[in-house]
Amino acid sequence: MPKSSTLESTNTLRKSAQAEPFVFPPAWRLRTGRTTSMIESFYHAIVGIGTGLKEQRNLRIHFCLSFIVIGAGFALRVDTVSWLALVLSMGLVIGAELLNTAIEHVVDLSAGGQYHLAAQKAKDSAAAAVLVAALCATAIGLIVFLPRLCSLFPGLTR
């Protein structure tokens, strides 16, 4: 990647960071390193979720599916243990997707716009982790919801 292109993308990132909808002291946005306040830590975490939702289609899909699962859980009167399994699996998938996004950004940054086989393997492994989490969450969803749906619609079991 040419230097001018990298410089342009860096300037674009800086401009988008300055246009944040949240109003916090500018020092929080400019400083790097360790946070000193719990409020500041929560702020950065919320900004990270917001950035992920804006930039990552799959994260938006996982969030939408989580709301559908929550609605289905209320509609089908899921018991407490099943809620625990559902909430943990949804959190695992969303957390894995956020980690995947972070890994992709770090790999892109370290690769400097060049193709590296190791960078591709790192990205593929991170994506595989999300896939495994999503498959486990799907299995948990089927275990929780399928018996309830079959009891509501007895014709499905024939």
DSSP string, 45-100: HHHHHHHHHHH-HHHHHHHHHHHHHHHHHHHTT--HHHHHHHHHHHHHHHHHHHHH
How many whole angstroms from its chain centre is CA 85?
A: 18
Q: Which amino acid is at 123?
A: K
For the CA atoms of 17, 22, 23, 29, the dihedral, rounded to the nearest 10 degrees, stands at -30
The tokens for 142 are 């089927």
Q: Which among 46, 48, 59, 51 has a CA at the least distance from the CA of 130?
A: 59
Indicate which residues carry an active-site annotation: 97
Contact status, residue 103 vs residue 123, Cβ threshold 8 Å: yes
